[in-house]
């Protein structure tokens, strides 16, 4: 059975009306739901989840995501925070680094081009470069994660990593990760704008 929550018009999950559940509603899998609930009670999840939910309530429609991120770190007692950022957002990373320090945190930052290897070193062909025939340093999200692991960061922030590269960073990071900025070079790092304009200005630019 395929779940289609994105197409649902009932949203019984938000109304305490289990009698209105669609036939393919994932909530019908009670065993899975109970397993998920039990997982929130695990020591490695309980405090983090409750703290994140409390922050949602405290800053609802008032705090920008940057403040929510800092508050999460402070309320969880994290001190050593990793910052994995894209070279294209190095100015933004410097600002975030400074704000983390002002909040009393100890940021450890690693840029995406760490290692300084040409893209061909990992198998990317010349024609796969932005500028074929020239030295072009590869993004190195695995190294970013391993370096932050080595530094013992308690929580990591991803700032503007490329699509897919961010996925690899999440995969290799020992610490939990939150995304502060989702890269979108065309839309000023606001990928939601393409969704809002999908039936209008961007109709012919998405698919």
Over residues 144-193, the pLDDT tens digits come to: 999 999 999 999 999 999 999 999 999 999 999 999 999 999 999 999 99
Q: Band of the pLDDT at 15, cuts 50, 70, 90?
A: confident
Contacts of 137 (CB under 8 A, 6+ apart): 113, 115, 116, 117, 118, 119
Any residues with CB less than 8 A from the CB of 123 and at least 6 apart, and which?
A: none
Residue 34 phi/psi, 5-degree rounding, is -70, -35
From residue 17, give the alpha-carbon distance in Å to each of 10, 27, 34: 10, 11, 18
User: Where residue 204 falls among pLDDT bands split at 50, 70, 90?
Assistant: confident
Pairing of strands 155-159, 177-181: parallel
Q: If DSSP codes are grouped into helix, strand and coil, which group holds residue 40?
A: coil
Distance in Å from the first CA to the final CA of the chain: 27
User: Is the pLDDT confidence value at 17 over 80?
Assistant: no
Give the pLDDT confidence score for residue 205 in this predicted structure. Answer: 87
pTM of the model: 0.95
**Six-digit token pair at 49?**
């989840």
Cα–Cα distance, 22 to 24 (Å, whole number): 5
- Dist. CA 82–CA 93, nearest whole Å: 11
Q: What is the pLDDT of residues 85-104, one digit of tens each?
A: 999 999 999 999 999 999 99
pLDDT of residue 71 exceeding 90: yes
pLDDT in tens, 27-62: 999 999 999 999 999 999 999 999 999 999 999 999
Q: Alpha-carbon distance 148 to 169, whole Å? A: 10
Q: Average per-residue pLDDT in the chain?
A: 96
């Amino acid at each position: 059975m395929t779940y289609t929550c994105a197409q649902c018009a009932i949203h019984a999950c938000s109304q305490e009306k289990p009698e209105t559940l669609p036939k393919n509603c994932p909530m019908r899998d009670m065993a899975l739901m109970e397993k998920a609930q039990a997982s929130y009670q695990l020591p490695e999840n309980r405090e983090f989840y409750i703290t994140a939910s409390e922050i949602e309530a405290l800053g609802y429609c008032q705090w920008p995501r940057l403040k929510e991120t800092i508050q999460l770190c402070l309320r969880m007692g994290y001190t050593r925070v990793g910052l994995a950022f894209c070279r294209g957002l190095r100015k933004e990373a410097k600002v975030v680094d400074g704000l983390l320090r002002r909040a009393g945190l100890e940021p450890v930052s690693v840029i995406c081009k760490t290692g300084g290897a040409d893209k061909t070193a990992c198998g990317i062909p010349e024609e796969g470069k932005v500028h074929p025939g020239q030295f072009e340093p590869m993004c190195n999200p695995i190294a970013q994660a391993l370096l932050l692991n080595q530094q013992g960061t308690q929580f990591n922030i991803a700032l503007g990593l490329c699509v897919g590269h961010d996925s690899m960073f999440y995969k290799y990071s020992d610490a939990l990760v939150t995304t502060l900025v989702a890269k979108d070079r065309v839309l000023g790092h606001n990928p939601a704008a393409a969704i809002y304009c999908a039936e209008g200005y961007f109709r012919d630019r998405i698919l």
